């Protein structure tokens, strides 16, 4: 979301970028695809010619900040393409927007939103935006962030239970729309007076829901992709916890809730497939499979493999897999008063060669260990490389039976500090040019005779 229509790149707060978004390298003109704009529509009819004699559609779709779009009539027959900045009619004054869709595909979009081109309330396009219009539009965009923070401060001072999430200025800098969310009805009449005195513009307050707020602000979901509501999803259908139950998901609110705090919309995407697959399974409803060995209760179900797991009451840790057809046969026998001897023969008829497996706890990753982050003290276990170097410098170890030196063994102390060579100092070699006048000391040990 870095083009001129989203909340991050639209404001052009950096004066050095000249309105060019950073990241997509499209320089603000994304062609017929619309690039990374929110709720983008691909014009797959853009390169097709109209039949002879058919008049082109005079309705265009104009995009404003974030996901706000509206349809306008091209009364002056201007040559408009996707990406043009235009001045359009507003309730009071004029607004500045970007063309997001033209041609015959606009009729399809208007049909989806139940908008009719013959209505009298349909607004019109005045002209293509001039440089003065664009400069004024960008000045208004720079005021949006600071205005939102000031408005939040005023709302907190008045003690209003509401959350201001976004601010949008009109293109002619004469009106500001404040979007907010609230759980209850809020009396913001005093707030409007203070905001009008502060910003010297007309103020409009619009309440939106939690999902509409996430759609406007955008973000990254748990799947790693951009939020569906801010890219392509326009209709927010009701999502209930039964959708998670049908898909056998854990009813964990932290995992099932999205960034809006409501249940994720993607829970409805595969719900129909799960409902159709569950029609092939028998209805258990806390029933037991009665056998001679004992009663077995239902543990879990693999919907797409068609396998159900049962366990005996006296062996709850032993899971017995069975096909859905075999479970129906056992239920039919129980209704007739018959009881099979055991469920194990049904397991042997599985094509996947399933076996009775007793599930036990296994710490595979080690993430349940409480001491995995403790620092282990291995200072006494480190090998003494310095002593090894000393041993190698004294001579080769030719005795294979000689073991490793005991670190606890005390080294013998020399009787005289001046006797014996210092292993840390290099030995002075005799100078052949000088005569050797002194006699050798027979009491000093010879280096060649010293054992390693």
- Residues 279-312: pLDDT tens digits? 989 988 888 899 998 899 998 888 888 899 999 9
Work out the percent of the chain whose per-residue pLDDT is above 70: 68
339: pLDDT strictly greater than 80 = yes
- The reported pLDDT for the residue numbered 71 is 93
Strand partners of residue 59: 73
278: pLDDT strictly greater than 70 = yes
Strand partners of residue 127: 87
* Spatial contact of 40 and 34, defined as CB atoms under 8 Å apart: yes
Mean pLDDT to the nearest integer, 394-421: 51
**Backbone phi, then psi, for 156, in 5-degree steps?**
-70, -35
Model confidence at 44, pLDDT cuts 50, 70, 90, reads confident
257: pLDDT strictly greater than 90 = yes
Q: Dihedral of CA 214/67/153/92: which sign? A: negative
For residue 118, the Cα-to-chain-centroid distance in whole angstroms is 43
């Amino acid at each position: 979301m870095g083009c001129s229509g989203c909340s991050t790149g639209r404001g052009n707060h950096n004066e050095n970028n000249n309105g060019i978004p950073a990241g997509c390298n499209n320089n603000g003109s994304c062609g017929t695809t619309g690039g990374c704009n929110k709720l983008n529509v691909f014009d797959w009819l853009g390169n097709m010619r109209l039949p002879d004699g058919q008049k082109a559609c005079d309705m265009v779709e104009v995009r404003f900040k974030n996901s706000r779009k509206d349809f306008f009539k091209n009364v002056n027959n201007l040559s408009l393409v996707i990406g043009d900045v235009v001045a359009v009619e507003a309730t009071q004054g004029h607004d500045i927007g970007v063309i997001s869709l033209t041609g015959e595909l606009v009729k399809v979009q208007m049909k989806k939103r139940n908008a009719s081109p013959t209505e009298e309330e349909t607004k019109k396009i005045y002209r293509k935006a001039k440089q003065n219009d664009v400069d004024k539009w960008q000045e208004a965009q720079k005021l949006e962030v600071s205005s939102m923070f000031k408005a939040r401060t005023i709302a907190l001072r008045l003690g209003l239970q509401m959350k201001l999430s976004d601010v949008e200025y009109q293109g002619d800098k004469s009106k500001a729309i404040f979007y907010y969310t609230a759980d209850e009805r809020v009396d913001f009449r005093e707030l409007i007076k203070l905001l009008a005195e502060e910003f010297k513009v007309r103020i409009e307050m619009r309440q939106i829901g939690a999902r509409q707020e996430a759609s406007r602000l955008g973000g990254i979901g748990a799947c790693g992709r951009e939020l569906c509501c801010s890219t392509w999803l326009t209709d927010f259908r009701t999502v209930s916890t039964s959708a998670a139950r049908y898909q056998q998901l854990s009813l964990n609110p932290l995992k099932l809730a999205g960034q809006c705090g409501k249940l994720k919309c993607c829970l409805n995407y595969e719900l129909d497939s799960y409902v159709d697959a569950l029609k092939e399974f028998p209805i258990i409803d806390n029933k037991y499979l009665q056998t001679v060995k004992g009663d077995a209760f239902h543990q879990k179900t693999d919907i797409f493999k068609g396998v159900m797991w049962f366990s005996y009451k006296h062996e709850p840790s032993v899971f017995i897999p069975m096909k859905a057809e075999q479970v129906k046969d056992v239920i039919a026998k129980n209704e007739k008063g018959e009881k099979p001897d055991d469920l194990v023969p049904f397991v042997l008829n599985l094509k996947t060669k399933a076996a009775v497996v007793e599930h036990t706890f296994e710490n595979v990753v080690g993430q349940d260990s409480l001491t995995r982050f403790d620092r282990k003290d291995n200072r006494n276990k480190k090998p003494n490389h310095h002593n090894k170097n000393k041993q190698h410098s004294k001579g080769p170890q030719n005795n294979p039976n000689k073991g490793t030196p005991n670190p606890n063994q005390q080294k013998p102390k020399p009787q005289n500090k001046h006797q014996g060579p210092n292993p840390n100092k290099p030995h002075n070699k005799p100078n052949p040019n000088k005569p050797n006048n002194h006699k050798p000391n027979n009491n000093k040990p010879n280096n060649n005779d010293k054992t390693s």
